[in-house]
Structure 1
């Protein structure tokens, strides 16, 4: 019986690791766009200024290619309708950082020499994006310690 809590803990960890991808308003394969086509993350996700949300691509970004590619697809027609209405696709965010945390994608990509996969997992292999890694204070602290980055509270919890 003493082993039961340990086994239960493993089941909980396995369940969290296998979180399903949220149902999106349109199917989107990062594997196809980033791996097969070789598009860089920044092609669709411009790196924001420090402290700003890195962003989901506006429909205009998608339409740069899809005004001529796969236009007969019902999904691309739905994308085109969003664009014509001046609306962005209401994507469901997979990762969210609390408002009280100051996080700079630009800083992590340039100074820290991280890449998107460092925090977001193997995105280029995902047909449907799901949270592969936990974005938590503990995970950030582990990474900061491993890379000799500051672990001072105001480094992440107060805009510099």
Structure 2
């Protein structure tokens, strides 16, 4: 039996009268969804005034991983960050990418003063599916995108084997 058959989804469009003007069960359902979204994607910062806004690591440092026959290529969005604010490490075949954004601007004019600060950090970590040539790893940042090129080791390249399929 599929889990979707036993999992309640909303209230079937029925309106349940309430002294608060909204369905208390639907409200509970939305609160539970928000709780699990926050648990599965840890927030960078709490936004108590706007509980419906999900500010998560995935929204700040989106990552693409592409595997070719010769390498793994990782791209991470790091808008507004300098090279010195980013740390890339490979330890025991686990790639860790950390970053911290610190932006501060100040503008003074005759009739107003504006000071803004923006801070945020992220950590993305995952185990590489193959061995790589550690001495040939390259990383660069261009237009707010970090690119990490991880060439596969000769052993990893040679390990691939095509499996013959028999027709029956």
Greater relative contact order: 1 or 2 (C-alpha under 8 angstroms, separation 6 or more)?
A: 1
Structure with a larger share of its residues in helix: 1
TM-score (norm 2): 0.29
TM-score (norm 1): 0.30
